[in-house]
Amino acid sequence: MHYSKLAKLCGVAVSLTMFVAACSSSSTKTATSSAPTTTAAATATTAGATATTAGATPTTAGTTATTAGSASGDLDATYGKGAQAFKNAIDATKSKPLVAAGDPFVISMPNLEGDAGGSFPDFREGAQAAVKLINERLGGIGADYKAGKPGRPIKLNVCSHGLTPDAAQACANTVAGEKPNLVTIGIDFFTQAMYPVFQQFPIIQTLPIFVADFTQKGAFSAIGGCPTAFFGAANFLATKGYDKVAVMYSDNGPGHECYTDTTERPLQYLKDQGKIADFKGYANKPGDPSDDAAQYQEITTFLAGAKKPAVFYSVASSDCVDWTKGLRAAGYTADLVMGSACVDKTVEALPEAVGAAFEFQSYNPDSPTLTDFEKFELGARSDAIKAFGPKAAVGTFMEDSFGSILWSWQIANNMVADGKDPFDRAAFSSALKALPPFHFIGRPAVDCSGNPAEFPAICFRKNTYLTWDGKAFGPEDALKGKYQDLTDLMNQVAAKNQRKK
């Protein structure tokens, strides 16, 4: 199983002509599935499954620490509001599925798909799998399991589009024309142009990559994106006492934006606080080895004389392989610290990767200390995705998309329980904004009520690091199974090292 993380896009897969006038053809395609299609152009509907990931941890810059996998007491107290309700729903429908009925709750999702430069059908299929689970087993929104009474179904409209601004704008207009109850954005490099069209709808951003994604009013994400991945890296490096750090990142639009806003700023803050002696960033062309050898030499020269040096990167798995092998071949023998984008079988197979620390925002599937509930969640997600039968490979993107749809469903159910109407867009937006620590399948609780001022859309701000021993991921020499809460660090950086305009 691949555990490559959302950071994959923050520095990678998108060397692709990204914001691009280079892609001249506009291909807005219709997503296909076994469910009935809608009449809207470039759109498909489906019915759909569940997801999972984990955490909370120690810190250097004022973050708090909790141990992943603790399961004492009430599930909601440990895993966020809604955890017990999720378990109850799965248990209640195990032998007798409850099929949703009535007018649907409409979720519209723009997503890049069908273009050679960047296509993510796994994101679409993860969402479809979640909707299938919700509609065909869990009884939809507001189901009464004791009475055997179904709630209302979710209708998912997926607008797949190619890598051109025109295709993206057409897709945004299609989504707005559907008048959905909720907009859930898949993987998309054109969100800045889409947000003005979506202002009247609640927005869930599944994978925040750009500053516009971090700061968009009315948008919320249960996935940490670049902010959590790279603030977490900076905090980990300081926590473990690395005095000199080289950061390799992709030399492309998203790579530069993620580095400048979410890596350079926290590292500079920690350097100013005396937590790190020095650091330097190195932009590297993705998939292009022409600049590698010279850069490896620059890095080894920069790190020479450091008491505890480290090289950090989080890029496409193919670049993780090349950089890991290349750095070792160039004579670099000290620690490697990699983002979750590098958590991939091709990287794990490298003898050069043994002993490296890898980022996780999810439960560690290799952990012998997974609680019964964590195993239950992982199993529920796996079973639901398998039951859907995706054509794309199952990986983090599919699981995160699945989890985001399930999160939306749980929020809607919670609103019903509180006597509120999830079909009221303003009410749903208010519920998102005030969301207390809330269950997200497989992750630590997601909390939108305390989002940092510079990152108002980022509801998930926790990660951990695990050491790869050549066979499994474990806590040795990393963070001992704990997750970092990065909220304080984000606030401190905002106060002392504000975002560049």
> Cα 153–156–162 angle (5° rounding)?
180
Residue 369's pLDDT is 84
Return all residues near 120 (Cβ < 8 A) that are at least 6 apart: 111, 112, 113, 186, 187, 397
Residue type, 105: F
C-alpha radius of gyration, the chain, whole number: 22
Residue 26's pLDDT is 29
CATH of domain 227-367+462-496: 3.40.50.2300
Q: What is the pTM of this model?
A: 0.84
Q: Which helix (H) or strand (E) holds 299?
A: helix 292-303
Q: Which of 274, 295, 110, 278 is nearest to 186 (CA)?
A: 110
Give me the numbers of helices (H) and strands (E) for the chain, helices first please: 17, 18
CATH superfamily of the 30-55+73-225+368-446 domain: Response regulator (3.40.50.2300)
Residue 57's pLDDT is 32
Residue 480's pLDDT is 80
> Cα 227–213–380 angle (5° rounding)?
75
> Cα 152–157–162 angle (5° rounding)?
165
> Taking phi first (over 0 means left), then psi (-120 to 50 degrees means alpha), and beta for anything else, what does residue 89 get?
alpha
Return all residues near 419 (Cβ < 8 A) that are at least 6 apart: none
Residue 348 class from Cβ within 10 Å (0-12 exposed, 13-18 middle, 19+ buried)? buried
Residue 45's pLDDT is 40
The answer to whether 486 and 228 are in contact (CB under 8 A) is yes
Residue 56's pLDDT is 32
Distance CA 359, CA 339 (A): 5
Place of tokens 């009935």: 36
Cβ atoms within 10 Å, residue 2? 16
Residue 116's pLDDT is 77
How confident is the chain (501 residues) per 10-residue block, as mean pLDDT? 40 36 28 32 37 32 36 78 97 97 98 87 97 98 97 98 94 97 95 95 94 94 94 97 96 89 97 97 90 94 96 88 95 95 90 95 83 95 97 89 97 97 98 95 91 96 94 82 93 93 73
Distance CA 8, CA 244 (A): 24
DSSP-derived 3-state class of residue 177: helix
Distance CA 232, CA 58 (A): 11
Kindly state the tokens that stand for 428. 């749903």
Residue 81 class from Cβ within 10 Å (0-12 exposed, 13-18 middle, 19+ buried)? buried
Q: Which of 391, 384, 373, 386 is nearest to 130 (CA)?
A: 384
Question: CATH 3.40.50.2300 in the chain, residues?
Answer: 30-55+73-225+368-446, 227-367+462-496
Distance CA 391, CA 232 (A): 33
Residue 21 class from Cβ within 10 Å (0-12 exposed, 13-18 middle, 19+ buried)? exposed
Distance CA 428, CA 255 (A): 33
Return all residues near 403 (Cβ < 8 A) that are at least 6 apart: 50, 51, 52, 53, 126, 130, 222, 381, 440, 441, 442, 443
Q: Which of 184, 185, 300 is nearest to 246 (CA)?
A: 300
Distance CA 175, CA 257 (A): 27
The answer to whether 42 and 159 are in contact (CB under 8 A) is yes
